[in-house]
C-alpha cells in the first residue's frame, strides 16, 4: 500500500483498509472504515424489505474484508478478492482520491483506454463552478 495512502488513513486513526470486489469492474475496491460505514448508512436508508437494499448489502457489505497493514505497510488479499480481479502475479494500485482500486495491470490498461474515451465524451458534465460555490470560494 503506498505510504501516502497509509499516512492518510493513519491520520484518521486507521491501521488498515476495507476491500471488496467491485461490482462495476473486475477490480478490488478499497476504502477507509469511515467510507464503508457511510456506504452502509446509505444502504440502511432503503426500506428493510426493498430488493435494492439486499442487492447493495450483498454486493458491497457481505464480501468486504477489513485488512490490517503489516509492519511494512502491506495487506494480504484473499483468494476471493484476487479471483474476482483476475490477479495472478502482479497487481496495480490505482488511487482515486479518498478511495482506491487494485487491478490486474493489463485489464486496467483496457479499462483506462475506455474510461478516457467516455470521460472525453462526458467532460461537459463536470461542474467546477458549482463545486466552488459549495465550498464558498
pLDDT in tens, 115-128: 999 988 888 887 77
Q: Is the domain covering 3-105 a CATH 3.30.70.1170 domain? A: no
CA 117 to chain centre: 21
CA 122 to chain centre: 22
pLDDT by residue, tens only, the chain of 137 residues? 888 888 888 888 888 999 999 989 999 999 999 999 999 999 999 998 999 999 989 988 999 999 999 989 899 999 999 999 999 999 999 998 889 999 999 999 999 999 999 988 888 887 776 555 555 55
Q: Are 21 and 28 in contact (CB under 8 A)?
A: yes
pLDDT of amino acid 125: 82
Q: Who's near 133: CB < 8 A, 6+ residues apart?
A: none
Neighbours of 9 (CB within 10 A): 20
Q: Are 28 and 81 in contact (CB under 8 A)?
A: yes
Write down the pTM of the prediction: 0.82
Amino acid at each position: 500500500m503506498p505510504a501516502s495512502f497509509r499516512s492518510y488513513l493513519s491520520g484518521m486513526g486507521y491501521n488498515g483498509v476495507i476491500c471488496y470486489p467491485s461490482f462495476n469492474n473486475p477490480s478490488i475496491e478499497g476504502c477507509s472504515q469511515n467510507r464503508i460505514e457511510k456506504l452502509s448508512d446509505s444502504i440502511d436508508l432503503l426500506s428493510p424489505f426493498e430488493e435494492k437494499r439486499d442487492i447493495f448489502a450483498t454486493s458491497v457489505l457481505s464480501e468486504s474484508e477489513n485488512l490490517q497493514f503489516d509492519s511494512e505497510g502491506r495487506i494480504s488479499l484473499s483468494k476471493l478478492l484476487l479471483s474476482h480481479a483476475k490477479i495472478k502475479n502482479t497487481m496495480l494500485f490505482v488511487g482515486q482520491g479518498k478511495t482506491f482500486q487494485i487491478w490486474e495491470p493489463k485489464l486496467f490498461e483496457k479499462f483506462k483506454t475506455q474510461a478516457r474515451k467516455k470521460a472525453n465524451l462526458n467532460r461537459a458534465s463536470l461542474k467546477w463552478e458549482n463545486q466552488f460555490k459549495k465550498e464558498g470560494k
